[in-house]
Amino acid sequence: ETGVTQTPRHLVMGMTNKKSLKCEQHLGHNAMYWYKQSAKKPLELMFVYNFKEQTENNSVPSRFSPECPNSSHLFLHLHTLQPEDSALYLCASSRSSGGRGDTQYFGPGTRLTVL
Amino acid sequence: DAKTTQPPSMDCAEGRAANLPCNHSTISGNEYVYWYRQIHSQGPQYIIHGLKNNETNEMASLIITEDRKSSTLILPHATLRDTAVYYCIVGQGDKIIFGKGTRLHILP
C-alpha cells in the first residue's frame, strides 16, 4: 500500500466510449503524474501536474484529457481510443515537481483494454 | 532515452545477496540515482535513491562509485518475493525516464 489508489483496476471499453480513470493520493503530495506502460515497453510519462497546474504534456494525443481538480486527485478522461491504447495506466505522486531527490510513489495501475 | 544501462536479466539463489549493476556514465552533477522495482503487472515500487554517498534502508543498499558513473543495488538476503524487474534511473524528481530494467529471478 503506497498511499496512491487508482480506480477502476480493470477497464474494457469500445472505441466510441468515453470513460475516466481516477487517481487519489493520501500522502500530502503536490505533484501527480500519469504514465502509460504498453506490453514489453518501458513506462512512458504522459502528464505532470504540480500544485494543480499542468507542467508537462509529453506529446500525448488529445483523445487523452487529464484533469487535476486539487493536489490529491487526478483524472484521465478517455474518448475515441484506439486498440493500440490498450495498456497499464499508472498514476504517481511526489512532494513536488522539480524537487531534487523527490521520489515518486505509484498506484497499482488501471489495466485498460480497448476493443 | 533512458540514461542507464542494465543487464536484461539476472538469477540469484534464495537467501543470497543479489547485486544488481547499473551504468550511468553520462550522469550530471545534480542528478540522483533511483532504484524502483515492478512486480508483474503492479505499479513500480520505490526502493532507494542517492546522490553521491552510499545509502542503506530497510529494503536495500545502494553503492555509488566515486566517479558516479555506475552503481550497484544490493538486496542482502533475496527471497522469492524479490522476483521483479528492477529499474535503475538517473534524474531529478519529476524528470525520471524508465528503461527496460533488469529482470531478477530468485531461484529456490
**Which residue reads 507542467 in cell numbers?**
A55
- Contact between B64 and B21 under an 8 Å Cβ cutoff? The reply is no
- Touching check for B57 and chain A: CB below 8 Å? no
**Which residue reads 486498440 in cell numbers?**
A83
- Total Cβ atoms within 10 A of residue B107: 11
Q: Flag whether pLDDT at B82 surpasses 90.
A: yes
- The overall longest dimension of chain A from CA atoms, in Å, is 41
Partner residue facing B94 (CB), from A2, A97, A106: A97
Mean pLDDT in chain B?
Answer: 93
**Can you give the pLDDT at residue B41?**
80
Instruction: With cut-offs at 50, 70 and 90, classify the pLDDT of residue A99.
Output: low
Three cell numbers, residue A79: 474518448
- Touching check for B19 and chain A: CB below 8 Å? no
Rounded distance between C-alpha atoms, residue B105 and residue B80, angstroms: 8
**What is the separation, in whole angstroms, between the first and last Cα of chain A?**
31
Query: Does A2 sit within 8 Å of B2, measured CB to CB?
Result: no
**Which residue reads 531461484 in cell numbers?**
B107
- Touching check for A97 and chain B: CB below 8 Å? yes
Contacts of B42 in chain A (CB under 8 A): 108-109
Contacts of B43 in chain A (CB under 8 A): 2, 4, 90, 92, 106-109
Q: What percent of chain B has pLDDT over 90?
A: 81
Q: What percent of chain A has pLDDT over 90?
A: 78
Residue B32 contacts by C-beta under 8 Å, 6 or more apart in sequence? A100, A101, B49, B50, B51, B90, B91, B92
Instruction: With cut-offs at 50, 70 and 90, classify the pLDDT of residue B3.
Output: confident
pLDDT average, residue stretch A49-78: 94
Query: Does B32 sit within 8 Å of A108, measured CB to CB?
Result: no
Pairing of β B55-56 and β A87-94 = unpaired
Rounded distance between C-alpha atoms, residue B82 and residue A76, angstroms: 31
Q: Flag whether pLDDT at A64 surpasses 80.
A: yes
Helix H or strand E segment including A33: strand A31-37
Nearest to A87 by CA among A110, A60, A67: A110
**Can you give the pLDDT at residue B65?**
96
Nearest to B67 by CA among B19, B34, B23: B23
Size of interface A-B (CB pairs under 8 A): 67
**Which residue reads 515518486 in cell numbers?**
A104
- Contact between B97 and B91 under an 8 Å Cβ cutoff? The reply is yes
pLDDT average, residue stretch B75-95: 91
Rounded distance between C-alpha atoms, residue B4 and residue B24, angstroms: 5
Q: Which of A102, A105, A113 to mutate to test the interface with B (most CBs of B within 10 A)?
A: A102
**Can you give the pLDDT at residue B34?**
94
Amino acid, single-letter form, for residue B104:
L
- Contact between A110 and A23 under an 8 Å Cβ cutoff? The reply is no
